[in-house]
Amino acid sequence: MTTKDVKTMKIAPKVWRNGEFIDWDNARVHVMTHAIHYGSSVFEGIRAYKAERGTAVFRLTEHIQRLLNSAKVYRMDIEFSRKELCQAAVELVRGGGMDECYLRPVIFRGLNEEKPSFGVNPFPAPIDCYMAAWDWGKYLGEEALESGVDVCVSSWTRTPANSLPAVAKAGANYMNSQLIKMEAILGGFSEGIALDDRGYVSEGSGENIFLVNNGKLITPPLGASILPGITRDSVIAIAKELGIEVVETSIQRAALYLTDELFFTGTAAEITPIRSVDRITVGAGKRGEITKQLQDVFFDIIYGRRPAPNNAPWLTYVNDTEEKKTATASAKE
């Protein structure tokens, strides 16, 4: 991809690398980088929206904290604090002149070119941190937010938490996600749903999942094989504020076919309804009332039209004077 592509594809022309901004074209790693061979990376997906008061990053502090948590699990010690990474994100969005964008911070084990080490042992490899931004539309399609998507239950099982910890958003985990996604696409579906090693519903290839039954919101519990999604957490908080009961429990596969409503959540997917599973129609075969209600409130919050539950600081405005100083009101060292 060239600088010309950056302009036509609405990609921020600068990339943040280890404390400095460099040109997109210079964001390169060596072919023998440890992460390329062994999947030793952790990353985040974060969205910035054009809110009523200006461009704002959604739940920046929480995303950066999860990035640092993922790095800690894999013993990746980086020199940057949460506050510094939040500030880098704000400056990247502001400097790129983008009203809306998707941010991708990534921490990975690189290559010590003076004393290279090519084995599985990750400790000799240096730790690098990059952050890029680009304009990414609706992950599962613009029409999917209303009409929903068709999905399948994957034949691939989600990786058990005692094999690869689900709490960490690690690059290696997404090889499993790719198998799920490819199988779904080749089968004519938009997305796949994975079961865990016990046969219970886990999540999509890159999304958490919710069922709606008899007015209750039901989702698999944390601590098993699912990523602790920040959009998932947002939806739960919104539902509770609206008086919708939330139940976190194990879910059998057959429940996917029998539920009243079904939807994915995620930074990329936002809140996307599911209209069929394994070609069995879910509910009325379109977005349900509770799904729409949650969508409406969620988008009102991210566009700054209403406060987050409990007035939580979910938006970091990139052009506010105070935000320039602190990156986000709640970010601390």
The CA-to-CA distance between both ends of the chain, in Å, stands at 36
Closest by CA position to 96, among listed 31, 186, 6: 6
Element (H, E) at 149: strand 149-153
Residue tagged active-site, from 10, 14, 169, 216:
169
3-class DSSP state for residue 297? Answer: helix
Element (H, E) at 158: none
Neighbours of 165 (CB within 10 A): 16
Beta strands at 261-266 and 270-277: parallel, antiparallel or unpaired: antiparallel
What's the CA gap between 247 and 261, in Å, rounded?
Answer: 15
Neighbours of 208 (CB within 10 A): 25
Asked if 324 is an active-site residue, the reply is: no
What's the CA gap between 193 and 207, in Å, rounded?
Answer: 9
What's the CA gap between 53 and 56, in Å, rounded?
Answer: 8
Q: What's the per-residue H, E or C state across 232-250?
A: HHHHHHHHHHCCCCEEECC
Q: Which residues participate in catalysis according to the annotation?
A: 169
